[in-house]
Structure 1
Amino acid sequence: MTKYSLAIDIGGTFTDAVLLASDGRSFVDKTLTTHNNLIEGFFRGVDLVLSQADIQPSDVNDVVVHATTVVTNALIERKGPPVALLVTEGFRDVLYIREEHRYEMYDPQIEFAEPLIPSERTFAVAERCYADGAIGKEVDRAQIVDIIQKCRDQGIVSVAVCFLNAYRNGANEERVREIFAEEAPEIYVSLSSVISPQMREYFRASTTAINAYTIPITRPYLLSLIDELEARGFDQQPLIMLSNGGVLGAKRAGDMPVRMIESGPAAGALVACYFSRLFDIPDLISFDMGGTTAKACLVQNHEPLVAGTFEVDRRYRFKPGSGMPITVPSIDMIEIGAGGGSIASVDALGLLKIGPESSGSMPGPVCYGRGGENPCVTDADLVLGILDADRFLGGDMELDLEGAQAAFDDLGKTLGLSREAAAWGVFEVVCEQMAAATRTHATDRGIDYRGLPLLAFGGAGPVHACMVAELTESEQVIYPPLASVLSAFGTLVTPTQVDLVRSLVSQLDSVDWSRVDETLGAMVEEGGAALVDAGIPEDECQYRFGVELRYTGQQSEVRIELDGDPRETRDTAAIERLFQAEYEKQYGLKLDGMLIEVVNWLVTAYGRHPDRASAAQVAKGALPDTGSRTVHVGGTARDVPVFQRLALKHGDRIDGPAIIEERETTIFILEGWSLKLHPSGSLVADRVAARKPQVFERVA
């Protein structure tokens, strides 16, 4: 019996749908994201692919996986409901004081993101847990009941609880949750000892506050999604893509929305690993450009880089420390506001600027004909001739060429350039922004990005990838099948997985293994329960172990993955060797004889990698005659051949400049590049010559 699996990825501009059959057939479509009601766009995408396959919801008998921007949107838009914070007495300003770090040392006017929870909704609780986990003062029930009444008076629907040293002992936080459950069960409660049981008070408070802020939005959304799927005849509970690159059951994911922030981008990074293994290329750059943002991720040894913390809502895009930190494991990537809908403008110095403001799906770029007035990246691609106004989304979404041209007439007049020169300027600037972000991301991690192949996907990624590759000194670009909806496909080749972290600080040479056994045992139990809840048989649950260490006295730690379960070997000498090797790899030296400190223990619970795949569609016979159209490449109008992707076959070679069209995206190959079809169905472009730079003359 044919098995069908369904994936829906809601992005900032488009909602992508992929239906995959076990025989390799795939059905894909895109629809504009409905921001006022995400579920409406979700099922619009579902209906489109089910109609293509001519099947009913009950025929989807494998999995339903969902990647969503609902958490990210809530944080960016700051439209969440009133939320309160409960802290230990004396620590009311923890979200304002932060960690007392200035991300820009010499700028006296630096700004930080405003805390999600203001001081007037922060309540001090007379309790105390000491650094060793001993409870010095228990929670007073009468005080919590009084706080509950104040919360009701202010219309608060969710609270975050972050007590001092609760990562060592969460008993006082648990007592608060019990009292809220008895007195105010309608109020959501997020505990730092559950959400982020790690040292560093501000980071733990920030993570818990973000969870409390978003749970009133995400839990009703996911519960409504579950109910609607059931009402429409789907038998499966949906799985939700998490920031760490795994999927988890919707009900459990709804309790920890802070783990869903990088949901869609993480799926793209994981599918890059899938193609890394498929092509046997250990190291590559994942380049995902959609309608609102562009994301880059470095894949090393077929795996993505993973970070223990990341930030949202940065005041300055490339400045670590300028946003709100989150201490949950996440795929390590860089994301910037440079997508098809990013708005082009002229700054106070008369320079061309792209983004980070985006037109989104409503009104969208001018060419969408939905009321947009600001020229965007997609408008530039259309004005240049790279996109065809009559073939966008296979002709289902006609673009307004005249509107885009008028918008760039105005922009060109401001810059003193022709319409086409202004459009090419937008094309070059947005590519340079993405390349600069990729270079910064790689350099900060001590990775040489030069020469690494680029995997290009997303609706706008294949349009711009060739130039981004030139700017990052890459010699090869891979355009996979289903490129425009590849993040959605990525959710279908991602294992069920949950990453857990617990702080247990001690000297490495004097580790209390009884406490380590207890801590790791609890983490394994929690991770296993999450996998079973997502449908993984208990005997198929697997576990990886890791630890974060530092030299005593240092502020930051180094993460290492252990060979097997440390509870069985208890080999601190082996752990020390792994740490010394990783430290030397990252920093170029090691400090022999220096004491080493354990900070966090890590457990990854995961199921097997799914074996779903899409069969390649390859044409037969000779390469048919193609049409062509005028494209303004670097200031020169050129007659560029246009090919249909499904008409290409093995052995065909296409030299740039050239355009390869498919229904959901367009591939643009620059001069000096040559493209061939790979047996997997991917198109691979190799750089064969350097392209000469173009210089524009200003318009008088």
Structure 2
Amino acid sequence: MTAWAIGIDIGGTFTDVVALDYAAGRLHSLKVLTTHGDPAEGVAHGLERLIQQCGILPREVRRVVHATTLFTNALIERRGACTGLLVNQGFKDVIEIGHERKYDLYDLALERAPALVPRNLRGEIAGRLDARGEELEPVAREDVRAAVAALVERGVESLAVCLLHSYTCGRHERQVADWIRADYPALEITLSCEVAPVIREFERISTTSANAYIKPLANRYLSALEARLAALGLQSGVLMMLSNGGLCHISEARRTPIELLESGPAAGAISAAHYGLRDDNADLLAFDMGGTTAKLSLIEEGQPAIAFGFEAARRKRFAEGSGLPIRITTVDLIEIGAGGGSIAHQDQLGLLKVGPRSAGSEPGPACYGLGGREPTVTDANLVLGYLNPGYFAGGTMSIDVGKASEAIGGIARPLGREIVDVAWGMHDIVAENMAGAARVHVAERGRDPRDFVLLCTGGGGPVHSYYVAQKIGVKTIVCPPAAGVASAYGLLVAPARADRSRTMSFRPAADSLETLEQAFSELEREARGSLEQLEETFGPIVLARQADGRFVGQGFNLSVRLPDGPYAGARAASGPDVRAALASAFESVYREKFGRTPPDVPVELVNLRVAGEAPPRRQFVAQALPAGAQARPKEVRRVYFREAEDFLPTPVYERSAVGAGFAQAGPLLIEDPGSTLVVGPKGHVRQLASGNLVIEIED
């Protein structure tokens, strides 16, 4: 019997749906506009159409995997639940005080990210633990009852509980939660000891509050999604993509939806790594550009870089400290407001700027004919000839070149420029914005972009990659098959993953190895328990130990991979060998990053981490691409290229007609239903048997 897997990725403009036919080795895809009022409606509409087109029987669907930007947008747009915060006496302003650092030292009108929980919705209770988790003062039920009653009376429907030193011991928080549930069973509760059990009070409160803020929205949406899928006859359940690039059961997502914030971009990075390894390209710059944002992530040795925190809803996109700190495991990427829907405007100096404001899908770019009147990047690409008005989104949408020209003309007139000049300016500005972000992202990690291959995905990635690559000095571009829906495809090749962490101060030179091993064993047991829910379709489970380390006295932590355990017991190596290996693991990474280590300063491990992964038991093997060195263009279109400063007659190829062995010098376009690959006059493209298109750019 045929087996299918379905991936669903909701973006700011389009919802992408893909279906993998494991027996035939074929991928089918569809793009539909995102329905922001009810995102599940767009999902159901796209699924229904794809099921009908492919003749999929619901009982043949083995797996449904989902990623969404819904919760990220809720944080940015402040559309979450009315949230309360419960803390120890004297600490309710920590969420507002933060670090007392200005992210822009010379800005006298600095605008900070406002706290998710206003002051009148913060409650204080007595009770205290010390830094070792020992009780100094017990919590009192009547005290808790009075504080929570006041918050509920003010309309709170979700409550974050964040008590001092609960990263060491969660006893007080769990006792408080039990009392609250007994009195208010309908109230959503988030505990910091479950969401972010790591040191640093402000970050822990911020993460816990953010989870509580989006939790009711997440539960409503995920329940509606399950109901929609059940109505279509899909009974396999739903897996969710996490920000760490792995999958979890939907029940885990309901408990900690904060871990879903970067799920879509994470899926894009996973698919990029997967496609790169098809041709042994293990070191990549993964460039994904959709309708609202562009993302770039660094992939080395076939693995996306991982970070253990990021900032959401920044007031200034590149200014560290201007957003809400979120302490979760996430694929390390940089994101800018540059997509097909990004709107062009004049700034206060009369200069042309693009983004970060986006037309999204409602009303969308002017060329959609849905009421949008402002000029967007999609309108510019249409005017320049990069997009085919009769084949947009595979011909499922009709777009209007006249409306695009009219919208760009509205900004060209005050600039005193021709429409084509402004359209090129918009395209070039977006490329420079992305290139600037790439330079910063790569340089901060001590790498040179010229050592990497640029792999482009998303609806806009293949359109813009040719000029982005030249700006950052990259000579090779890879465009994978079905690049326009690569994030949705990444959902179906991603492993299941569970990350667990806790704070523990441990000095390898002196502290108890038995205590360290016990802590790691508990974390491994938790991670394994989460993954065992999916053992029917994912396995075997592999666990890796990590830690945030530093030299004693430093305030900066560095995350490192530790040797495999056990560190104590009958199966462990000798104590001195284990201690030396733990210290050496940190020192070698520190030396690689900073060049040297301080003399005679002991190492301290601060936060312990366990990452558990389980790959899909059934791997998708793509159908071999047939040979076909000769391919005929389906049309010749006039396309603008900067090298010529004019429109050039450009052959346009259908990607499905381009076989392995095809090679052609630019300029040319290669179209598929999800995107268009632009190859300029300096480029030379060839089609590999893996399905990847490779573009080499001349100096």
Name the residue aligned to 1:675.
Answer: 685
Deviations 1:313-369 (A, max 9, x none): 111111111110111110000011000000011101111111010011000010111
Q: Contact 1:240 / 1:253 at 8 angstroms: preserved in 2?
A: yes
1:18 matched to 2:18? The reply is yes
Q: Does 1:257 align with 2:265?
A: no
Q: Structure 1 residues 69 and 613, CA, compared in 2 at 3 Å: closer, same or farther?
A: farther
Deviation at 1:231, TM superposition (A): 3.4
* Residue of 608, 615, 622 corresponding to 2:623: 615
Q: For residues 660 and 282 of structure 2, what CA distance do their matches in structure 1 show?
A: 24
In 2: Cα distance, 1:399 partner to 1:18 partner: 23
Give the AA of the match of 1:306: I
1:404 is paired with a residue of what secondary structure? helix
2:610 corresponds to: 603
Once the two structures are overlaid, the 10-residue window that deviates more, 507-516 or 46-55, is: 507-516
Question: What number of residue pairs does the alignment pair up?
Answer: 688
In the alignment, is the contact (CA less than 8 A) between 1:627 and 1:643 conserved in 2? Answer: yes
Map of 2:636 onto structure 1: 628
Shift of 1:47: 1.3
Q: What is the CA deviation profile of residues 452-498 of structure 1, one whole-angstrom value per residue up to 9, with x for unaligned ones?
A: 11100101111001111111100111010010000000011101001
Corresponding residue for 1:137?
A: 137
Deviation at 1:535, TM superposition (A): 4.0
Assess if the C-alpha contact under 8 Å between 1:158 and 1:189 holds in 2: yes
TM superposition shift of 1:537: 7.8
**Residues 86-165 of structure 1 aligned to structure 2 (within 5 Å):** 86-165=86-165
Give the equivalent residue in structure 2 for 1:666: 676
- TM value normalised by structure 1: 0.96
Displacement of 1:566: 4.4
Specify the code of the residue in structure 1 equivalent to 2:9: D
The residue identity in structure 2 corresponding to 1:348 is: Q
Change (3 A) 1:118 1:536: farther
Q: 1:504 and 1:172 mapped to 2: Cα distance?
A: 18
One-letter code aligned to 2:602: L
Q: Indicate the residue corresponding to 2:654 in structure 1.
A: 644
Deviation of residue 536 (structure 1)? 4.7
Superposition pairs of residues 215-614 of structure 1, within 5 angstroms: 215-536=215-536, 540-567=540-567, 568-569=572-573, 571-610=578-617, 611-614=619-622
Gapped regions of structure 2 (runs ≥ 5): none
Q: Which residue of 2 aligns with 1:52?
A: 53
The answer on whether the counterparts of 2:628 and 2:662 sit within 8 Å (CA) in structure 1 is no
Q: Could you tell me the TM-score, scaled by structure 2's length?
A: 0.96
- Residue 658 of structure 2 corresponds to residue 657 of structure 1: no
Any idea what SS the aligned residue of 1:516 has?
Answer: helix
What is the CA deviation profile of residues 546-603 of structure 1, one whole-angstrom value per residue up to 9, with x for unaligned ones? 1110011111111111231243446121111121111111112211311211101110
> Matches of 2:245 and 2:386 in 1, distance apart?
33
Q: Which runs of 5+ in 1 are unaligned?
A: 691-700
Shift of 1:638: 1.4
Q: 1:609 Cα shift?
A: 4.5
Note closer, same or farther for the CA distance 1:231–1:393 as it changes in structure 2 (3 Å cut): closer
Alignment-mate amino acid for residue 689 of structure 2 = P
Q: Which amino acid aligns with 1:585?
A: E
| C-alpha displacement of 1:110 | 2.4
Per-residue deviation, 1:513: 2.6
Distance in 2, matches of 1:436 and 1:65, equals 33
Cα 1:227/1:510, change in 2 over 3 Å: farther
1:538 and 1:111 mapped to 2: Cα distance? 46
Query: Structure 1 residues 539, 626: closer, same or farther in 2, change over 3 A?
Result: closer
What secondary structure, in the 3-state scheme, does the structure 1 residue paired with 2:597 have?
coil
More off after superposition, 94-103 vs 489-498: 94-103
Q: Which of 643-652 and 314-323 deviates more?
A: 643-652
CA RMSD of aligned residues (A): 1.5
Shift of 1:539: 7.9
Alpha-carbon offset, residue 68 of structure 1: 0.9
* Residue aligned with 2:659, SS: coil
Aligned equivalents of 2:317, 2:73: Cα separation in 1: 17
Output the CA distance in 1 between the equivalents of 2:311 and 2:392.
Answer: 35
Q: Distance in 2 between matches of 1:123 and 1:3?
A: 52
Structure 1 match to 2:29: 28
> Aligned partners of 1:388 and 1:231: how far apart in 2?
36
Displacement of 1:173 in angstroms is: 0.5
The alignment partner of 1:540 has SS state of: coil
Provide the rounded CA distance (Å) in 2 between the counterparts of 1:298 and 1:101: 29
CA shift, 1:160, in A, is 0.4
CA distance, structure 2, for counterparts of residue 441 and residue 276 of structure 1: 20
Cα 1:511/1:613, change in 2 over 3 Å: farther
Aligned equivalents of 2:228, 2:374: Cα separation in 1: 37
Cα gap change, 1:613/1:220 in structure 2, threshold over 3 Å: closer, same or farther? farther
What is residue 204 of structure 1 aligned with on the other side?
204
Give the superposition deviation at 1:521. 2.1
State the SS of the aligned residue for 1:236: coil
Shift of 1:151: 2.3
C-alpha distance in 1, partners of 2:451/2:422?
30
Identical-pair percentage: 37
What is the rounded CA distance, in whole Å, between the counterparts of 1:388 and 1:271 in structure 2?
26
In the alignment, what sits opposite 1:697? none
CA distance in 2, matches of 1:566, 1:203: 31
Q: d(CA) in 1 for partners of 2:193 and 2:86?
A: 13
Work out whether residues 544 and 565 of structure 1, in 8 Å CA contact, stay in contact via their aligned partners in 2. Answer: no
Checking the alignment, whether the CA contact within 8 Å between 1:528 and 1:538 is kept in structure 2 is no
Note the C-alpha offset of 1:516. Answer: 2.0
- Secondary structure at the aligned position of 1:63 is classed as strand
